Amino acid sequence: MKKNITQKIIAAHLMDGEMIPGHEIALKIDQTLTQDATGTMAYLQWEAMDLSRVKTELSVSYVDHNTLQMGFRNPDDHRYLRSVAAKYGIIFSPPGTGICHQLHLENFAIPGKTLIGSDSHTPTAGGIGSLAMGAGGLSVALAMAGEAYTLTMPQIFSIRLEGSLQGYASAKDIILHLLGLLSVKGGVGAVMEYSGPGVNTLSVPERATITNMGAELGATTSIFPSDEQTRVFLALMGREHDYLPLQADHGAHYDREIVIDLSTIVPLAAQPHMPDLVVPVAELDGLAVDQVAIGSCTNSSYADLQQVAQILTGEHIADNTDLLLSPGSKQVLKMLMAQGFLDTILDAGGRLLECACGPCIGMGGSPQSSGVSARTFNRNFEGRSGTLDGQVYLVSPITAAFCALQGKFTNPATWNKTLSKPSLPPTAPSIRHLFSFPPEDDSSVQILRGPNIVPLTAFDPLPNNLDLPVLIKLGDNITTDHIMPAGAAITALRSNIPAISRHVFERVDQDFVHRADKANQGLVLAGENYGQGSSREHAALAPRHLGVRVVVAKSFARIHKANLINFGILPLTLANPLDYNILAQGDRLSINVHDLAPATILHGTLTNGQSIALQHDLTATEIAIIKVGGLLNWVKSKQK
C-alpha cells in the first residue's frame, strides 16, 4: 500500500489500533519535551508513578516560559526541574538558553521520530520531518514511563505548495493564508502534510514557522518531507548523522487536498483577537502601531531576524513605536552577533530581551492601554499580551520591521527595501554545552522543592448519578487563556493547583470561582471549539479542583478534550446544538452515567423535567479513565 509521510511514521510506531481515521491508535513515543509552565506539574505526576528512569530515547526539560523571577516561585520551580532531570535521566535546558521549540529543532528533533510535548506548539519539529504533537503534561509523563500515547487516528490533508514566494511575502503569510481559508477549527482531527514543488523553496526554519502555527488550525500536527533542505540544516547544526530522507510515496492517498500557489501570497495580518481574522496588510494602511514584538517560537530564527536587520540597516524606528526583540535561542543570538545583525537592530532602536517566550505569554513586554501591537507570534487572544484591551495583530517579521520603521501599518506596495531570501548562516556555533545532561549515577541526587510546589490532590471516581448546576455558559472558541489565564503572576502558580484554581475564568466572569465553591460540583456549558489554544492542562486540572465534573459543548479542541479526560472530567456534546439555547447559567442538569459506554446517548434532565440528549465519541478506555477519576488513577489501578 502506498503511504504518505504521516502513515509511514505512524505505521513504524503503532503499538495498538487500526490506522483508520476516527479509530483509536496507540503510538510508541521516541522523544518528549516539557517547558516550565507545564513541566513542573508533569514531573509531579511523573513522581506519583514512582518510577526510577525515563524510558524514552530522549526527554528534555526546557525552561523558557516563567523566566521572570519575581519572588521565589519561579526560581524554586527551576531548581526543582533541574533536580528532577538529573534524578530521572532527563536533559535540562536552563532559563535563558532559548525557547523549547527552537532549541529542539536545532539540537534534538530527528526526521521520522515521534515526539510529544507539553506545549501545543510542539509540531514545530514537523518542519524537520518529525511527527510531533502537543499533549497534556500527564500524557507526556506517561510517555516518559514507556506508556503508549493514544489518540484518534487523524485524517491527513495534503497541503500542496506550488510556485514560490514573491516580493515581501514570507512563510508566516503562508500559514496566515491557510488560517484565513480554514479557520481556527479547520484542522481539527487532521494532520497537515505539506507537499508539492513549492516545498523545495522553503528552508527548515521557514517550514518550522508553518508547522508551529498549524496548532492554530486545531490540527493534530503538521509535517514536511525530510529532503535536501533538511540535510543542509542538520549539517549546519552538526547533526548530519540524524538525517533520514522521508517522502510520501507517489500516488499516496490523502483525505483532502488543498493547493496553494505561493506566488499569489501577499503580506497578511491576523486582526484582534483571533488568529484566523486574516486580512492583507494593505487593508490596514495608516493604522498607527504603538509596539512591535519580534520573536516567539514562531518567528525567532536566524533567518527571520536576518531579514529584520536588512530592513533596519541604516534606519531608526519611529519615535512613537517600541521595538522588542526576543531571539529564539542563544545559538540564534550568537549567529546574529557574528554577522553584525544584532548591532544593526540595536542601533535602529530595538530592545533586546531574553532568549525566551517573553511577551508572547504576557511575561513582560505588554503593550500600553488599548495599544496596537504588531507581533510575529502565533496567538492574539484577548488579554494574552498582559494588557486586557491590547490590540494584537499577528504578522511576519518583514511586516513587523516595516511597522517599526514607519510607526504604522503601510501598504507593502510602498516598501522600498531590497531583501535577500531568508538564508542560513555560513557556520553555526554549537550551544550543546549549555544543556545539563543527566549523570549515569543518580543515587546522590536529591529532589529540591520550594514551598510553592504542592503535591497533587487525589481525585475521586465519577459518581453514577450527577445533579449539577450550570456554573457558567460560554460562547464559541473559548480558549485555554479564557479558562486559565497566562501572564507573570498567574503562571508562577502552575505548581500550586489550590492557588492557581482561584483564577479560573477570571477574565470572563469574576464570580465563577465563588459560584463553584458554593456549589461544590458543577457543569460548564460552551459552544463550538471549546478549549482551543495552549496545551496547558491546568485549564482542566484547576476546574476539576473546583468541582467541575462535566463539560457540555457543541464541540471540543483536541488537546483540551484529552486533558479533560485525563483528569476525570466528562466531555459531552449536545446531540441537538439548538439545545444550547435552552440551557442557562444556574439551571440544574441531572445525568445518569452508570451505563456510560461507547456510542451511547445520555439524557440530562432539567429541573422542569425537560430532557437534553447528550452524546460523546469516547472510547472504552477513555470512559474507564473518567470513571475512576482520571488517567493517573487508571494507571495506578493497572499496576496493582
Catalytic residue list: 64-65, 119, 379, 534, 536
DSSP per residue over 158-208, as a string? EEEEES---TT--HHHHHHHHHHHH-TTTTBTEEEEEESGGGGGS-HHHHH
How large is the greatest C-alpha to C-alpha distance in the chain, in angstroms?
A: 73
Q: Which helix (H) or strand (E) holds 143?
A: helix 137-144
Neighbours of 310 (CB within 10 A): 16
- Going by C-alpha positions, the residue among 576, 577, 547, 551 that lies closest to residue 565 is 551
- Please say whether the beta carbons of 172 and 395 come within 8 A: yes
- Going by C-alpha positions, the residue among 534, 538, 259, 488 that lies closest to residue 362 is 488
- Please say whether the beta carbons of 417 and 311 come within 8 A: yes
Q: Are strands 570-574 and 611-615 parallel, antiparallel or unpaired?
A: antiparallel
Scanning the structure block, which residue is given the C-alpha cell 440551557?
Answer: 583
Helix (H, G, I), strand (E, B) or coil at 465: strand
Helices 397-406, 302-312: crossing angle, 10 deg rounding: 30
DSSP per residue over 566-584, as a string? HTT-EEEEESSGGGGGT--
CA 333 to chain centre: 23
- Going by C-alpha positions, the residue among 158, 156, 188, 161 that lies closest to residue 174 is 161
Residue type at 481 in one-letter notation: D
Output phi, psi for 494, to 5 deg: -60, -25
Question: How far is it, in rounded angstroms, from Cα 485 to Cα 500?
Answer: 10
- Please say whether the beta carbons of 390 and 291 come within 8 A: no
Q: Which helix (H) or strand (E) holds 342?
A: helix 341-347
Q: Give the single-character DSSP code of 321.
A: -
Question: How far is it, in rounded angstroms, from Cα 372 to Cα 478?
Answer: 23
The half-sphere exposure of 429 on its side-chain side, counting CA atoms within 13 A, is: 14
Question: How far is it, in rounded angstroms, from Cα 85 to Cα 438?
Answer: 7
Q: Give the single-character DSSP code of 595.
A: T
- Going by C-alpha positions, the residue among 379, 378, 180, 204 that lies closest to residue 264 is 180
306: its cell numbers: 536576518
Question: How far is it, in rounded angstroms, from Cα 459 to Cα 567?
Answer: 8
